[in-house]
Each structure stands twice: as C-alpha cells, then as structure tokens.
Structure 1
Amino acid sequence: MSNPPMYGNLVPLDRTQHAKLKLSTDKSALERIKGLNSLFLAVAEFADACKEFPVVFVRVGAVVEGQRQAIAPLAVFGLKQGSNLFIKDDLWTARYLPAYVRRYPFAMARMDDGDNMVLCIDTAWDGLGEATGAPLFDDKGEASELLLNAKNFCEEFEREADRTRQACEILQDLNLLQDMRFEATLPNGEKLDVDGFMTINEKALAELPDAKVVELHRNGLLELITMHRLSLGHMSRLATQYQAQN
C-alpha cells in the first residue's frame, strides 16, 4: 500500500497489534505539511477554502491508454514546490484547515487484495506511542470514543471524495477545464512561474447550452465553479506572501 501525501507509514489499524497505542491530542500535525504546497480538497469545502486559498484542478493517477486521466481539486498553499506559506512559527495562519489534514493520522485505505476500505493509521508519526496520550482501544479491545469519531470522520471524508470525483467527471464531460499558467514578477525582480494546473475555460462555459447551465445550477456545480473562479484571485496574494517571507 502506497503512502499518500503527508503520510509516512500508513498501516491498517489492528485491535491486537495496536491495543496499547495512544494518541497525543496536543501534538500538532502541521509539521507533516510544511513541505506541501497543495493538498486535495473536497467540493464540500469550496465555500470555506475559496476565501483563503486558490482552488485549482490537476490531473491525477496513472495514464491508461484509451482512458482519460482523472482530475481532482487542490487547495494551493504555495507557489513553489516545498513551500507552504500558511505555516508560521508552527502555527496555521489561515482560517480554514482542509479535512485532508484534520483526519490525520488516520485515513481510510483500500487494501491491495480487495475492494474493502479499512481504517488505517500513520505509525511514522511521533504523536503516537504507548506511554502517554488518549488510548485508541479500551481494556476490552473495543474502539475508544476518540477512535470511533476518527473512523466516522474518515468515512465521511471518503463519501465527499467520491462526490468530488463525480463532480470532476461532469466538468470533464462538458470540456470545461483548460490548462493554465500563473506568472508574476515580484518588486525585487524575482519571477514566479506556476503551471501544471487547470481552471475553468470561460469561453466553454459561456457557450454551454441553456439546458446544461440549468443542470449545473440544479446539481450545485455552477456555484462550485463560481467559488473556484473567485479563489483564483488568491494567486497574486500568495505571490505577495512569498515575497514577504523570503
């Protein structure tokens, strides 16, 4: 099983193997995303995220001949690889923290030998141990309230991820996405050039038949498109933040 971004050693949670494992509720997971300039964002998060970050789309997954490559939305935290402009003095400076981060160190994952999703945990995180913290299991081997809440959160995250994949497929079906490049020249002369992401094609959107526009409105995608378009104004803000921190 491969490790998604932010995770070091994601393994299935086992009530026997991890019976004594405890979670430090005071330990921040922000150290895991210091070097990440973007992360997955579910469409349910657009309303909050668009006020803080650029929300863009990227191609994801393997390229298979005869099949189109999937796309996914990302919240952008920095304009360079390894740069997260929203962490300062080990604190998160934005008003919204994506669910992808809030579920850590837990995640649902599909095992290589089947289709079932199981709850996993990142054993590489130093916020886990057997000495101190909140236990994941009680003396009878039953899941603690903390663990049950984490499982519920991760299951809801997966449901929203599925909804997000469906929304992205509709955007692809309507050919509404285009490759985009962001360029900026800072006052000190440094040039920033960011590509590899996709945005809504304004011309393609304007040329949609009325029936398709009504359909997008009724399924909520037209509102999501508007949030995405508004969020792109934060690209210039990130350039200003980058200069201030460098």
Structure 2
Amino acid sequence: GEYKEGDALFDKDQPSETTKNILDFCEQFEQAGQRTGQFVQELEKLELLMDGEVSIEQNGVDKPFVYRGFKMVNEEKLRDLRGDELRKLNQNGILPLIYAHLFSLQLMRDVFARQVSAGKMPEVTEVPSVQV
C-alpha cells in the first residue's frame, strides 16, 4: 500500500536498493555462520576446546562474578599440537583466529570493569561463573 514511512521493497517489478542490501546482509551473515561452524569443527577435531569459566573478583564484594557455559581454546593443548597440525591451522587462516579468541578472553576483565563503572551490570540473584 501507500505509506509515508519506511523504504520501498520493490522498484516496479525489481527489488529496491533497500531489499538488495537486506538480501546481501543475509547472505553475508549466512556465510559467516558457515565459516564459524567450520572453524569450530576444526577446533573440535583437534580437541582444542574446553568448557570455559571466568571468575572476576571485585573490590568490596565477597563473591566473585563468574561466567560459565561457553567453550574456549585450551592453551596447553594448543602448545602441544604437532608441527604439521599447526602448519595446517596457519595455512587455512585458523591460527590467527585462535589467537584473537585468546586475546579477547584476556579483555573480559576490562570489559567487566567498564560495565561496573557505567552501572550496567545485571542483577545477580545466583552467582554465574567464568574463569580464565
């Protein structure tokens, strides 16, 4: 129908630029999901993933804030990989992603501190858990 708000989805009988952009985004999102799935499959095949837990101590708070329920790369197993396995991870672009993941885990405490200082922490009735 005729509306004054929003963007047209079609330009005559062809998709509008807005629709093309939406479809392009959906395609990129799907491809990224497939790449992520392949990445995780490779990590699982090499048995590099473990259950993650991060515990963050806060000044003046008795119990630490703990995040649980996620997977993370086991650094010890990564260090113990054979050379041919590491070479394959490097050649297919997975090794830099593993290191980015490990670096991001180290930033969790900084992100948490910023959330606390901004007063944006969730109400916690039961302490969740996280340990890096």
Identify whether the pair has TM-score above 0.5, normalized to the shorter chain: yes
5+ residue gaps in structure 2?
Answer: 120-132
SS in 2 for 1:232: helix
For residues 35 and 68 of structure 2, the distance between their equivalents in structure 1, rounded to whole angstroms, comes to 26
Check conservation: 1:181, 1:194, Cα contact below 8 A. Answer: yes
Matched residue type, 1:197: F
The one of 148, 151, 168 equivalent to 2:20 is 148
Q: Secondary structure in 2 aligned to 1:193?
A: strand
TM-score, normalising length: structure 1: 0.45
2:64 corresponds to 1:177? no
Alignment of 1:194-209 (within 5 A): 194-209=67-82
- CA radius of gyration, larger in: 2
Relative to its length, the structure with more strand (as a share) is: 1
- Name the residue aligned to 1:187: 59
| Contact persistence 1:186–1:239 (CA under 8 A) | no
Q: Hey, which bits of structure 1, 4+ residues long, moved more than 3 A?
A: none
Displacement of 1:186 in angstroms is: 1.4
Write the deviation string for residues 96-146 of structure 1: whole angstroms up to 9, x where unpaired: xxxxxxxxxxxxxxxxxxxxxxxxxxxxxxxxxx431221123x2421111
Matches of 2:13 and 2:102, distance apart in 1: 49
Q: What amino acid is aligned across from residue 29 of structure 2 in structure 1?
A: F
Match of 1:135 in 2: 8
Instruction: Give the fraction of aligned pairs with identical amino acids, expressed as a percent.
Output: 31
Distance 1:243 1:164 in 2: 31
TM-score where L is the length of structure 2? 0.81
1:212 pairs, out of 85, 101, 107, with: 85
Number of matched residues? 118
Q: CA deviation at 1:150?
A: 1.5
Q: Does 1:162 align with 2:34?
A: yes
From 82, 100, 108, the equivalent of 1:227 is: 100
Local SS of the residue matching 1:135? coil
User: What SS does the corresponding residue of 1:134 show, helix, strand or coil?
Assistant: coil
Gaps of 5+ in 1: 1-19, 22-129
